[in-house]
A and B are shown apart, each in its own frame.
Chain A
Amino acid sequence: MRIPRRALLASSALLAAPAVGQSDPRPQVSVAVQNLATSNTLEMLLEQSNVGTRIFRNYVEPLVDTDWTGDMSLLPGLATAWRRLDERVVEFDLREGVVFHDGSPFTAEDVVFSFGPERMWGGGGREVPASVPQTARQAFPAFERMEAVGPYRVRLVNSRPDPVQIGRMARSIAVIVPRGAFLAAPSFMEWARRPVGSGPYRIAEFRPDRLLVMEPHDAHWQGRPPLRRLRFLEVPEVSSRINMLISGEAEFATDIPPDQIRAIESDRRFEVAGGPINNTRYVVFNTAHPVLADPLVRRAMSHAIDREAIITALWEGRTSVPRGLQWEFYGEFYLRDVEAPRFDPAEARRLLRESSYRGQPIPYRCLNNYYTNQTATAQILVSGWRAVGLNVQLQMVENWGQILGGEPASRGVHDWSASAVVPDPSVQTVGSWGPGSAVWRRNQWRNAEFGALCEEFDSILDTPRRIAIRRRMLAIIEREDPAYAVLHRNANFTAKRREIGWRPAQSFFMDFRGRNWGA
């Protein structure tokens, strides 16, 4: 058994805490989080997760920023302006004077490299993890090339028209990295454990499953960051996170369940920030299951969900039922007259009588509180379904492999959540439910008309026509041939010291930039 000496020496640094420069008057902040990163890396091409979303924007930046603590609209980021040249090409003016953490200047060459084969698509002379090109292709389905047209100007060229071409440049996967630092790393995975970016903080130390320390990047284009040190500590137990807050070891504790809010706020030193975010919890149907192949059964299931009861009993009324799978920041694509199917047990029973359902069991595979309140929500759902005559059988499983494993016909219902990342329904709806989605290709749910509408919705720029298509898509996927039943908007709660001026985002992202500190 070979144990590298370096590893042993590194591990013998047990219990050692590095001293920090005490002359810097800026505060140090510790954030207790449930999970630092699911992939054990900080490279967003590998870390497409809610927990990755929480931290990424503090150390890397995309061309297009998002007003995270505001209305989620798009803002200039590493690009100061952009213009559409034609249906396939968008030109970006790059911000001058930006410096990466390694001291190198940001130029068009770095943008081209970040979207190039050596980092994103493979085949560029460096080995890229097998999953990366596939993930990138799903995020940028029409991407053809990124080309420099000057030291501070690039053009994004698509293979077909894409109405979300600019919005996709705000996604976490679209961050820009310095070419030199990337190529200096021995391998992609070495890079991924300690990436270099241009964000307000640089990675000082990353110990997977344990600790992430960031230090200020004082040359940041928005000015000196407000914190001397920003630490994210992985503390899996919620009670331990709260204890760390109360004992003064952390200034923030994340992922607080709603039933803990009153207890925390009973101490005047602390408050719980947060509320509904751009993420919706829903249950999804597998139409390969013989019972769920009948849309009447799925419609009945949707009408048998008492969404308000879930929100009142489990969320203390701190979130809301969305108008289907859409968010206000979709702007003109937000259809205010659309509602989630109403709770109507009588209608559910009527639909079941008309259906082919004769009491067959419907499996409902459920993880143990992967989502906040997941198990209790599942119990409420099952009880509502049973009340109208549906024989839904709750099956507690351990992981996503077990949720999606086995013969397709053996899977019935499972939980899921959906995030909106850009102010256009295309990324969420087409990306998660269209012909290119994992759901579609797993044959979990398909609808020919919906598929055709996705193709059109994703390839035209005519907004009124796209709104009409969007309306029809929602009618199909939520009412006529349901692929899912929305439950409630997800809410994210962060406990913190009351005197700290900091606003939560409508997302899992925790923004520690200057404009959100002391706010």
Chain B
Amino acid sequence: MVRFLLSRLLRAAVTIVLVVTFAFVVLRLSGDPAQIIMGADAPPEAVDAFRTAWGLDQPVWVQYFHYFGAIASGDLGRSMRDGREAIVLVAERIPATLALTVPALLIKLLLGIPAGIYAALHRNSAVDRALMVAAVAGFTVPSFVLGLLLVLVFAVQLGWLPSGGQESWRHAILPVATLGIGGAAVLARFTRSAMLEVLGQPYIRTASAKGLTWRAVVWSHALPNAAIPTVTIVGFMVGSLIAGAVVVESVFSWPGVGRLMVVAVANRDLAVVQCILLLVAATMVVANLTVDVLYGVLDPRLRTGIRRAGAG
């Protein structure tokens, strides 16, 4: 198990380095940050002074080694727009994003998984069909369309809820609903498919033939096996908690990490973008690692495989 975890951690570290390296290079090859931040009217001397002040006049490989040297000492750089520490800017936004994504994740789990299980257990019933129609609609409608639709109904027409901003808990309802509905639809589809596949397996027939109640078959044999693909999707959703609301934050003017990333990318505010990507990559990697461990917990065959790999 230790070797398994170490190998996963090593892979995670390599993934993070690759992500940050890719972002570092692409951001510098796709537009001069000095010209972007200073604007087209800026005197060339001002642009040059800006480049020198931020080390952008150095070769990219020199900038790259400086950057990784700074990371090693805990310095993630400063925003080129207002001079503040990138980590402070990002940390300020994380609670706002989590205020949307965590409740939305709960909605996804509480709506999506039961709906998928129920639909699978009542395959081809009217309820199954209705749930699946709703699920298909939920995940095919883009979040910005769904968000604007909810605003049109609940903010503009009914006047029950605010349409954007972040001033009270009421402002969070529509963006949370937008994120939650789409994700619940995805989970419902995946859970139903996984359950249907498991319910068709011989061991389910065997369990039934042994005289177990249907409830016991479902709880003890079907659900744990169907959980594996569902855990994969949930793991991805957990990994997206930090940067999974980019579009919704823009539609609802919600000042979270997603909005910060959009603005920082547009302005090539390098330290801020790199800081966000580092955070997102780390979150995703940790989520994947957790999912890998959960696989082992859920599937005895994988545990055996891990032990064998460890023994060999």
A contacts, CB < 8 Å to B = 1-4, 7-8, 10-12, 14-15, 17, 38-41, 48-49, 129-131, 133-135, 137-138, 187, 189, 192-193, 207-211, 233-237, 239-240, 243-244, 246-249, 398-405, 416, 432, 436, 438, 441-442
Decide: A134 and B163 in contact? CB cutoff 8 A: no
Q: Which of A17, A40, A405, A438 contacts B31 (CB 8 A)?
A: A405
Q: Give the 6 A-B CB pairs with smallest separation, nearest first.
A: A401-B31, A134-B46, A130-B49, A401-B32, A40-B82, A189-B83
Decide: B156 and A15 in contact? CB cutoff 8 A: no
Decide: B36 and A7 in contact? CB cutoff 8 A: no
Decide: A244 and B52 in contact? CB cutoff 8 A: no
Q: Least Cβ distance of B23 to chain A in Å?
A: 15
Q: Which of A10, A135, A211, A442 contacts B46 (CB 8 A)?
A: A135
Give me 26 A-to-B residue pairs in the complex whose CB atoms sit less than 8 angstroms apart, sorted by A's number: A3-B87, A3-B91, A7-B88, A8-B91, A15-B168, A38-B81, A38-B267, A39-B82, A40-B81, A40-B82, A41-B82, A48-B39, A130-B49, A130-B50, A134-B45, A134-B46, A189-B82, A233-B164, A235-B253, A240-B252, A243-B148, A247-B159, A400-B31, A405-B31, A436-B43, A438-B40
The docked-state distance in angstroms from the alpha carbon of A404 to that of B36 is 10
Task: With A131-B46, A398-B31 as known contacts, state yes or no: A243 contacts B155, CB within 8 Å.
Answer: yes
The docked-state distance in angstroms from the alpha carbon of A38 to that of B155 is 29
In the complex, which residue of chain B has the Cβ closest to the Cβ of A401? B31
B95: chain A residues within 8 A (beta carbon)? 8, 11-12, 14
Decide: A240 and B253 in contact? CB cutoff 8 A: yes
**Apart from A12-B95, A233-B253, A236-B259, what 13 extra A-B contacts exist at CB < 8 Å?**
A8-B91, A11-B93, A15-B168, A17-B168, A40-B79, A129-B53, A209-B260, A209-B263, A237-B251, A240-B251, A243-B148, A247-B163, A401-B34
The docked-state distance in angstroms from the alpha carbon of A189 to that of B79 is 11
Query: How many B residues have CB within 8 A of the partner chain?
Result: 67
Decide: A1 and B76 in contact? CB cutoff 8 A: yes
In the complex, which residue of chain B has the Cβ closest to the Cβ of A249? B162
The docked-state distance in angstroms from the alpha carbon of A2 to that of B40 is 36
The docked-state distance in angstroms from the alpha carbon of A243 to that of B50 is 39
Decide: B82 and A208 in contact? CB cutoff 8 A: yes
Decide: A416 and B40 in contact? CB cutoff 8 A: yes
The docked-state distance in angstroms from the alpha carbon of A17 to that of B268 is 31
Decide: A402 and B30 in contact? CB cutoff 8 A: yes
The docked-state distance in angstroms from the alpha carbon of A8 to that of B95 is 8
> Does B151 belong to the interface (CB within 8 Å)?
yes
A209: chain B residues within 8 A (beta carbon)? 255, 259-260, 263
Decide: B74 and A2 in contact? CB cutoff 8 A: yes
The docked-state distance in angstroms from the alpha carbon of A233 to that of B81 is 19
Decide: B88 and A4 in contact? CB cutoff 8 A: yes
B88: chain A residues within 8 A (beta carbon)? 3-4, 7
> Does B63 belong to the interface (CB within 8 Å)?
no
Decide: A399 and B52 in contact? CB cutoff 8 A: no
> Does B19 belong to the interface (CB within 8 Å)?
no
Q: Which of A10, A40, A404 contacts B35 (CB 8 A)?
A: A404
Q: Least Cβ distance of B247 to chain A in Å?
A: 10
- Complex interface bits, B155-190 against A, C-beta within 8 A gives 1, otherwise 0: 110010011111111011000000000000000000
Task: With A240-B253, A416-B40 as known contacts, state yes or no: A235 contacts B164, CB within 8 Å.
Answer: yes
The docked-state distance in angstroms from the alpha carbon of A207 to that of B91 is 14
> Does B38 belong to the interface (CB within 8 Å)?
yes
In the complex, which residue of chain A has the Cβ closest to the Cβ of B164? A240
The docked-state distance in angstroms from the alpha carbon of A209 to that of B47 is 23
Q: Least Cβ distance of B33 to chain A in Å?
A: 7
Decide: A399 and B31 in contact? CB cutoff 8 A: yes
B253: chain A residues within 8 A (beta carbon)? 233-237, 240
B53: chain A residues within 8 A (beta carbon)? 129-131
Task: With A401-B31, A401-B33 as known contacts, state yes or no: A11 contacts B96, CB within 8 Å.
Answer: yes
A233: chain B residues within 8 A (beta carbon)? 164-165, 253
Q: Least Cβ distance of A171 to chain B in Å?
A: 13
Q: Least Cβ distance of A165 to chain B in Å?
A: 20
Task: With A240-B151, A247-B162, A400-B40 as known contacts, state yes or no: A15 contacts B167, CB within 8 Å.
Answer: yes
B76: chain A residues within 8 A (beta carbon)? 1
Decide: A404 and B40 in contact? CB cutoff 8 A: yes
B interface secondary structure, majority:
helix
In the complex, which residue of chain A has the Cβ closest to the Cβ of B44? A441
- Complex interface bits, B45-76 against A, C-beta within 8 A gives 1, otherwise 0: 11101101100000000000000000000101
Decide: B40 and A14 in contact? CB cutoff 8 A: no
B13: chain A residues within 8 A (beta carbon)? none
Q: Least Cβ distance of B86 to chain A in Å?
A: 11
Interface positions, chain B 123-157, Cβ under 8 Å from A, are: 148, 151-152, 155-156
B197: chain A residues within 8 A (beta carbon)? none
> Does B42 belong to the interface (CB within 8 Å)?
yes
> Does B225 belong to the interface (CB within 8 Å)?
no
The docked-state distance in angstroms from the alpha carbon of A405 to that of B51 is 14
The docked-state distance in angstroms from the alpha carbon of A243 to that of B153 is 11
In the complex, which residue of chain B has the Cβ closest to the Cβ of A41? B82
The docked-state distance in angstroms from the alpha carbon of A79 to that of B166 is 41
In the complex, which residue of chain A has the Cβ closest to the Cβ of B85? A4
Decide: A39 and B163 in contact? CB cutoff 8 A: no
Q: Which of A41, A129, A130, A249 contacts B163 (CB 8 A)?
A: A249
Q: Which of A15, A189, A248, A399 contacts B166 (CB 8 A)?
A: A15
Q: Least Cβ distance of A27 to chain B in Å?
A: 18
Q: Which of B36, B45, B252 contacts A399 (CB 8 A)?
A: B36
Q: Which of B36, B40, B87, B151 has the most CB of A within 10 A?
A: B40
The docked-state distance in angstroms from the alpha carbon of A103 to that of B267 is 37
The docked-state distance in angstroms from the alpha carbon of A416 to that of B76 is 35
A4: chain B residues within 8 A (beta carbon)? 85, 88, 91
B156: chain A residues within 8 A (beta carbon)? 243, 246-247
Decide: A134 and B49 in contact? CB cutoff 8 A: yes
Q: Which of A15, A39, A129 has the most CB of B within 10 A?
A: A15
The docked-state distance in angstroms from the alpha carbon of A187 to that of B78 is 15
Decide: B41 and A48 in contact? CB cutoff 8 A: yes
Decide: A11 and B259 in contact? CB cutoff 8 A: no
A11: chain B residues within 8 A (beta carbon)? 91-96
A192: chain B residues within 8 A (beta carbon)? 82
Decide: B32 and A405 in contact? CB cutoff 8 A: yes
Q: Which of A10, A12, A210, A239 contacts B148 (CB 8 A)?
A: A239
A14: chain B residues within 8 A (beta carbon)? 95-96, 99, 166
Q: Which of A12, A237, A402 has the most CB of B within 10 A?
A: A237
B268: chain A residues within 8 A (beta carbon)? 399, 401
Q: Which of B155, B165, B166, B259 has the most CB of A within 10 A?
A: B165
A416: chain B residues within 8 A (beta carbon)? 40
> Does B14 belong to the interface (CB within 8 Å)?
no
> Does B286 belong to the interface (CB within 8 Å)?
no
Q: Least Cβ distance of B162 to chain A in Å?
A: 6
Task: With A11-B94, A15-B166, A237-B250 as known contacts, state yes or no: A131 contacts B38, CB within 8 Å.
Answer: yes
The docked-state distance in angstroms from the alpha carbon of A137 to that of B267 is 24
Decide: A15 and B250 in contact? CB cutoff 8 A: no
Interface positions, chain B 84-113, Cβ under 8 Å from A, are: 84-85, 87-88, 91-96, 99
> Does B37 belong to the interface (CB within 8 Å)?
yes
The docked-state distance in angstroms from the alpha carbon of A17 to that of B81 is 26
> Does B266 belong to the interface (CB within 8 Å)?
yes
B91: chain A residues within 8 A (beta carbon)? 3-4, 7-8, 11
Task: With A11-B93, A131-B50, A404-B35 as known contacts, state yes or no: A207 contacts B41, CB within 8 Å.
Answer: no
